[in-house]
Amino acid sequence: MRKTTIRSLPRFARLIGLVGLLAAPATAWATDHSLPRLVHKDGRHALLIDGAPYLILGAQVNNSSAWPAVLPQVWPAIKAIHANTVEMPVYWEQFEPKPGAFDYSVVDTLVAQSCKNDVHLILLWFATWKNGSPHYMPLWMKQDPKKLVRMLRADGRPVDSASPFSSEMLEADKRAFVALMRHLKKTDPQHTVILVQVENESGTWGAVRDYSPAAVKAFDAPVPAPILAAMGKKPAGANIGNVGNVGNVSNVGWKEAFGKDADEFFHAWAVARYVGEVAAAGKAEYPLPLYANAALRDPISPGPVVNWESGGPTDDVLPIWKAAAPALDLLAPDIYMDDYTKVDKVMELYRRPDNPLLIPEISNAPQYARFFFLALGHETLGFSPFGIDVTNYVNFPLGAKKTNEETLAPFALNYQLVGPMMRELARLGFEGKVKGVAEKKGTPAQSLEIGGWKVNVSYGLPQFGFGDKPPGNAEPVGGAFVAQLDDNQFLVAGVHCRVDFQTTGAAPKKQRDYLRVEEGTYESGKFKFRRLWNGDQTDWGLNFTSEPQILRVVVGTY
**Interatomic CA distance for residues 384 and 359, integer angstroms:** 6
Instruction: Give the 3-state secondary structure of residue 259.
Output: helix
Q: How many C-alpha atoms does 126 have within 13 Å on its Cβ side? A: 21
Instruction: Using the minimum distance from each CB to ligand DGJ, give the nearer residue, 333 or 429.
Output: 333
Which of 18/66 has CB closer to ligand DGJ?
Answer: 66
In whole angstroms, the minimum distance from the beta carbon of 510 to ligand DGJ comes to: 50
State the residue number with the nearest CB to ligand DGJ.
395
Contact status, residue 265 vs residue 272, Cβ threshold 8 Å: no
**Out of 47, 63, 329, 501, the residue judged to bind ligand DGJ by CB under 6 A:** 63
Helix axes 262-285, 213-220, angle to 10 degrees: 110
Encoded one letter per residue, x for contact with ligand DGJ by CB under 6 A and - for no contact, window 14-53 reads ----------------------------------------
> Is residue 537 involved in binding ligand DGJ (CB under 6 A)?
no
Rule CB under 6 A: is residue 391 a binding residue for ligand DGJ? no
CB of 399 to ligand DGJ, least distance (A): 7
CB-nearer residue toward ligand DGJ: 53 or 312: 312
Is residue 379 near ligand DGJ by the rule CB under 6 A?
Answer: no
- Min dist. Cβ of residue 92 to ligand DGJ (A): 14
**Of the candidates 381, 312, 316, the residue with the CA atom closest to the CA atom of residue 345:** 316
Q: How many residues bind ligand DGJ (CB under 6 A)?
A: 9
Pick from 431, 346, 342, 415: nearest CA to 53: 431
Give least dist CB 266 to ligand DGJ, A: 24
Number of other residues whose CB lies within 10 A of the CB of residue 137: 26
Please name the residue ranges forming H helices in 304-339. 318-324
Q: Is 161 in the site for ligand DGJ (CB under 6 A)?
A: no
**What are the C-alpha distances in Å from 422 to residues 7, 389, 524?**
28, 23, 10
Comparing CB distances to ligand DGJ, the nearer of 335 and 553 is: 335
- Nearest CA-CA partner of 485 in 5, 20, 48, 26: 26
CA distances from 125 to 259, 338, 398 (A): 34, 27, 22
Considering the complex, state which of residue 333 and residue 470 has its C-beta at the smaller distance from ligand DGJ.
333
Q: Work out whether 166 is an interface residue with ligand DGJ (CB under 6 A).
A: no
Q: Does residue 395 belong to the site contacting ligand DGJ (CB under 6 A)? A: yes
Q: Does 398 bind ligand DGJ (CB under 6 A)?
A: yes
Contact between 334 and ligand DGJ by CB under 6 A: the answer reads yes
Residue 246 Cβ, how far from ligand DGJ at the closest point, in Å? 30
Among 65, 131, 166, 364, binds ligand DGJ (CB under 6 A): 131
Cα–Cα distances in angstroms (integers) from residue 223 to residues 157, 241, 250, 251, in the given order:
26, 11, 6, 7
Which residues have CB under 8 Å from 339's CB, separation 6+? none
Q: Are strands 434-438 and 479-486 parallel, antiparallel or unpaired?
A: antiparallel
Instruction: Closer to ligand DGJ by CB, 276 or 333: give it.
Output: 333
Comparing CB distances to ligand DGJ, the nearer of 132 and 319 is: 132
DSSP 143-194: T-TTTS-EEE-TTS-EEEEE-TT-HHHHHHHHHHHHHHHHHHHHH-TT--EE
361 binds ligand DGJ (CB under 6 A): yes
What is the β-pairing status of strands 382-385 and 434-438? unpaired
Contact letters (x/-) for ligand DGJ, 198-217, by CB under 6 A?
Answer: --xx----------------
In the bound state with ligand DGJ, the residue whose beta carbon lies nearer, of 375 and 485, is 375
**Contact residues for 501 (Cβ-Cβ < 8 A; gap 6+):** 453, 454, 455, 456, 512, 514, 553, 555
- In which element (H, E) is residue 287 found? none
* Closest separation in Å from C-beta 286 to ligand DGJ: 24
End-to-end CA distance of the chain: 27
Distance of closest approach, residue 487 Cβ to ligand DGJ, in angstroms: 44
Query: Closer CB to ligand DGJ, residue 210 or residue 334?
Result: 334
Residues at the interface with ligand DGJ (CB under 6 A) = 63, 131, 200-201, 334, 361, 386, 395, 398
